[in-house]
Amino acid sequence: MSRRVLVTGASRGIGRAIAWAFAERGDRLAVHYGQSRDLARDVVGALPGSGHVVVQADMADAEAVKAAVDEAADHLGGLDVLVNNAGVFHAHPPMQTSYADWQAAWSQTLATNLVGAANATFCAVPHLVAAGGGAVVNVSSRGAFRGEPNCPAYGASKAGMNAFGQSMAMALAPHGIAVATVAPGFVQTEMAREVLDGPAGDAVRNQSPLGRVALPEEVAAAVLWLASPEARFSTGTIIDVNGASYLRS
């Protein structure tokens, strides 16, 4: 059965792979972007199937997020799945950052990564309820558990996303909506290429006993399963996709 899926931050990287995974199984996609309009249109044009749409919003803008969610539901005829993937990462090591830059990093990161995802979920819930239930899958990070010393706002935003997902899993279960989270480590994306191709690349790869980082498609596979009816009783879970580079108890 074809589902109606909104993926935020789907113009590249992990989000693009997630959109592709859903489209390959016959689902119709709303591909969200923040600034990369041409990339988002390229993604929609290349996706298998038809009926896909592009929606835009600054995830830090609450009204823009609501408009994008509603637009996605209008174009697709409803929503069955929301994937909260959009996020930003700005380095701001505490001993090397001005107070003004520190404030800006925290404000933008939390507004986009955490509050933006919370707003998208809130706005999607009525559509999911109208569809008879569905799934919300959040894309978090290994950094929520091991810490991000050069980008503490990022680690905090993802830890907040984990807690948010578990809270929403409890709140929305009576309405037939499952909420779960994927926490990747380093992923082979365009954004990571500078690090992976640079002098620190081998050290990053060797963080995993597999000697490599994740492929976007591996993260997408976990998201696809968590959004499936077979995963409904796994609501509230957090799946690590980090190649054993960080093991938590």
Q: Which residues are catalytic?
A: 154
Going from the C-alpha of 52 to that of each of 16, 30, 38, 118, 125, the distances in angstroms are 13, 6, 15, 24, 21
Spacing of C-alpha 83 from chain mean position: 6
Q: Which two structure tokens, joined as six digits, stand for 93?
A: 């090591």
Distances (CA, A) of 242 to 90, 151, 170, 190, 220: 21, 19, 26, 18, 13
CA distance 249 to 230: 25
Read out DSSP for 31-46? EEESS-HHHHHHHHHH
Q: How far apart are CA 54 and CA 34, in angstroms?
A: 11
Write the CB contacts of 181 (distance below 8 Å, at least 6 apart in sequence): 137, 138, 139, 140, 161, 162, 165, 166, 226, 237, 238, 239
